[in-house]
Amino acid sequence: MKGRILSGMRPTGKLHLGNYEGALRNWVELQEEYEMFCMIADWHALTTEYEHPEQIRANVRELVLDYLAAGLDPKRVAIFAQSDVKEHAELHLLFSMITPTPWLIRNPTIKEQARDMGLIGEGEEVTKINYGLLGYPVLQAADILIYRANAVPVGEDQVPHIELAREIARRFNYLYGGFFPEPEPILTCVPKLPGLDGRKMSKSLGNVIYLSDLPKVVKEKVCTMFTDPMRIKKKDLGDPEARGCPVFLYHKLYNSHEIAQIEEDCKAAVLGCVECKGRLAERLAEFLTPVQDRRREAEAREGYVEEVLKDGAKRARSEAERTMEGVRERMGVG
């Protein structure tokens, strides 16, 4: 039998290359090997976007289109909105009754996110954030375990959440009898893709290349990218690998057949940064062309996105209902 995977993203707008390399590329490959449930985490989006809920529904559609553009096959993968499967909320409630608060407070990912949002200072505890954000990992555990998933493809920063899901599964099994598997993380080979400025690619930092960016936009953005910091002029000798040149990393991913020559020419100061960026822009445009073709095709089919979500929710709900029957029976609740 195939293993089972739960994956998902929050609908916060169009996806970028960092999302693709950090998650989507892996998901597309895994759909060949696993039974997959792929969630649009619209309830999770409310933990930080609760003041602007009107944006979430529009972003759900954009996320589905990007899923399809990346190559997810809705015939193989159940693509659905989290809020369309109410059993997630029921299991979250029951899990919240057995999850000790210290498990949530010690979560390093929550602390980092709260600091990024300016809710707490360095070294402060998570006392100023809303319950939804603090309890985010409990809902995430419910998302995973409602499908009794064996594995979850995640970036390194999400591993603590998966460990908490495993702890909750163990606690439930100890209290009420063995029922849930302990899901394992499946890490991507490129957990963090640098943005245009060398920092982690992030919409909030404005340093992203979107999957939907056209060649002209890609070229303009690539021209602004950081390169080897020691190469001020073309005649300066480079060392892109040792000095962590972001453009060189992108060439590794999207122009691998030229990478050896590019490194050699950079070290010999034969290849300048401007020309190097130009080559990268061309390779990125080539890579994105079939992605954007699939997006346009899906977008042109009237009612297709809604059909994908409806069918995915039906398949997900069927499995979630089966799980909740087992949970209620073991806990002795209606």
Q: What is the pLDDT of residues 50-100, one digit of tens each?
A: 888 989 988 999 999 999 999 999 999 999 999 999 999 999 999 999 999
Spatial separation of the C-alpha atoms in residues 320 and 129, rounded to whole Å: 30
CATH 3.30.590.10 assigned to domain 213-294? The reply is no
- Decide which of 83 and 110 is more confident: 83
- What pLDDT score does 104 carry? 86
Average pLDDT, the chain: 91
- Decide which of 187 and 304 is more confident: 304
**Radius of gyration from C-alpha coordinates of the chain:** 22
What is the percentage of the chain residues whose pLDDT exceeds 90? Answer: 70
Spatial separation of the C-alpha atoms in residues 77 and 31, rounded to whole Å: 7
Residue 262 pLDDT grade (very low, low, confident, very high; cuts 50, 70, 90): very high
- What pLDDT score does 322 carry? 98
- What pLDDT score does 191 carry? 56
- What pLDDT score does 90 carry? 98
| 116, pLDDT greater than 90 | no
- What pLDDT score does 306 carry? 97
CB atoms within 10 A of CB 251: 24
| 328, pLDDT greater than 90 | yes
Residue 113 pLDDT grade (very low, low, confident, very high; cuts 50, 70, 90): confident
Residues of the chain with CATH 1.10.240.10: 213-294
Host H or E run for residue 134: helix 131-134
Map tokens 């499995």 to a residue: 319
Helix/strand/coil for 96: helix
| 242, pLDDT greater than 90 | no
Helix/strand/coil for 185: strand
- What pLDDT score does 238 carry? 87
Residues of the chain with CATH 3.40.50.620: 4-193+303-331
DSSP 225: -
Map tokens 């849930």 to a residue: 180
Q: What is the pLDDT of residues 13-31, one digit of tens each?
A: 899 999 999 899 999 999 9
Residue 115 pLDDT grade (very low, low, confident, very high; cuts 50, 70, 90): confident
331: exposed, middle or buried (C-beta count within 10 Å: 0-12, 13-18, 19+)? middle
Question: Is residue 183 within 8 Å of residue 149, measured between CB atoms?
Answer: yes
- What pLDDT score does 119 carry? 66
| 120, pLDDT greater than 70 | no
Mean pLDDT of 314-330: 98
- CATH code linked to domain 4-193+303-331: 3.40.50.620
Host H or E run for residue 80: strand 77-81
Map tokens 């529904």 to a residue: 57
β-pair type (77-81, 35-40): parallel
Question: Is residue 284 within 8 Å of residue 209, measured between CB atoms?
Answer: yes
Q: Which amino acid is at 44?
A: H
- Indicate the pTM of the whole model: 0.90
- What pLDDT score does 200 carry? 84
Question: Is residue 153 within 8 Å of residue 27, measured between CB atoms?
Answer: yes
Greatest alpha-carbon span in the chain:
75
- What pLDDT score does 236 carry? 86
Residue 41 pLDDT grade (very low, low, confident, very high; cuts 50, 70, 90): very high
